[in-house]
């Protein structure tokens, strides 16, 4: 049975290197003490500063952190074996389109699907949240927000991060869905969608007011339906 997916609109450790309640929540889903969690910084080009924030944050939590750099030449990991050894993965933010291209080049998309099917936790922020869906709204292509339908497809429909925090996101995403883009889920910074397998099980947040939204067309009219988030302690 597939494991969990946790999709953060923004937030988590990424801004400060300090763990937040969502980071602890991700680890709790692994269902074992000191789970192995791997950081995938592909979307940021494996930026060293981002990697340092991950290790600084997760060193304060009960886990065994590692990372998988794909811009290193040559790769020093046996990818299939390394991926199988992890109980959780955290995908950082950055360019969604670059992330998907590099993963597909190395076959990591297939390996992550196998890990998820075997029960692993897949988590991520921004690009690392929307990559799991069939479609997504991204600023990775040119200077404007763009709709893409080349996601991994682990989850159906579309997704949009930073929904209430970037003033361009809400009107753009609403317009696209009204015009026929796949209906989907929008996520505020500080909020996260929790899927068990392919089913949305919960919406959680690390700050008051952060939530998620279902956006779809019903009887020819656009509907934005708030999904209240459970504030984590």
Of 161, 142, 44, 146, the residue nearest 94 (C-alpha): 44
pLDDT at 142: 75
> Given CA atoms 203, 60, 41, 44 in this order, what sign does their dihedral have?
positive
Question: Which tokens hold the place of 149?
Answer: 């339908």
- Inter-CA distances, 59 with 18, 75, 90, 168, Å: 10, 24, 14, 36
* Tens digit of each residue's pLDDT, the chain (233 residues): 789 999 999 999 998 889 999 999 999 999 999 999 999 999 999 999 999 999 999 999 999 999 999 997 777 779 999 999 999 999 999 999 999 999 999 999 999 999 999 999 999 999 999 999 999 999 988 778 999 999 999 999 999 999 999 999 999 999 999 999 999 999 999 999 999 999 999 999 999 999 999 999 999 999 999 999 999 98
Query: Of 26, 29, 4, which Cα lies nearest the Cα of 196?
Result: 4
| Statement: 4-231 belongs to CATH 3.40.50.300 | no
Map the chain to HEC letters. Answer: CCCEEEEECCCHHHHCCCCCHHHHHHHHCCCCCCCEEEEECHHHCCCHHHHHHHHHHHCCCCCEEEECCCCCCCCCCCHHHHHHCCCEEEECCCCHHHHHHHHHHHCHHHHHHHHHHCCCEEEEECHHHHCCEEEEEECCCCCCCEEECCCCCCEEEEEECCCCCCCCHHHHHHHHHHCCCCCEEEECCCEEEEEECCEEEEEEECCCCCCEEEEEEECCEEEEEEECCEECC
The token pair at 216 is: 């779809």
pTM of the model: 0.96
Do 108 and 84 meet the contact criterion of CB atoms below 8 Å apart?
Answer: no
User: What's residue 141's pLDDT?
Assistant: 82
Neighbours of 214 (CB within 10 A): 15
pLDDT at 2: 86
| Average pLDDT, rounded, for the chain | 96
The set of catalytic residues is 126, 162
Residues 6 or more apart whose CB falls under 8 angstroms from that of 225 comprise 213, 214, 215, 216
């Amino acid at each position: 049975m597939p494991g969990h997916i946790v999709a953060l609109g923004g937030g988590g450790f990424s801004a400060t290197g300090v763990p937040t309640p969502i980071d602890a929540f991700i680890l709790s889903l692994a269902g074992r003490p000191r789970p192995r969690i791997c950081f995938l910084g592909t979307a940021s080009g494996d930026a060293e500063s981002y990697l340092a924030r991950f290790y600084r944050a997760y060193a304060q939590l009960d886990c065994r952190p590692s990372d998988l750099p794909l811009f290193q030449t040559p790769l020093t990991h046996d990818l299939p074996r390394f991926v199988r050894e992890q109980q959780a993965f955290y995908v950082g933010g950055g360019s969604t389109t670059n992330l998907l291209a590099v993963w597909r080049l190395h076959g990591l998309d297939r390996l992550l699907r196998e890990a998820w099917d075997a029960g692993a936790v897949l988590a991520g922020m921004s690009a690392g949240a929307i990559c799991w869906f069939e479609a997504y709204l991204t600023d990775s292509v040119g200077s404007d927000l763009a709709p893409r339908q080349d996601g991994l497809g682990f989850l159906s429909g579309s997704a949009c991060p930073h929904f209430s925090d970037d003033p361009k996101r809400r009107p753009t995403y609403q317009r696209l869905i009204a015009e026929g883009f796949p209906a989907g889920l929008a996520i505020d910074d500080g909020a996260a969608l929790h899927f068990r397998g392919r089913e949305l099980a919960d919406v959680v947040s690390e700050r008051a007011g952060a939530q998620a939204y279902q956006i779809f067309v019903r009887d020819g009219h656009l509907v934005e339906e708030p999904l209240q988030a459970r504030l984590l302690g």
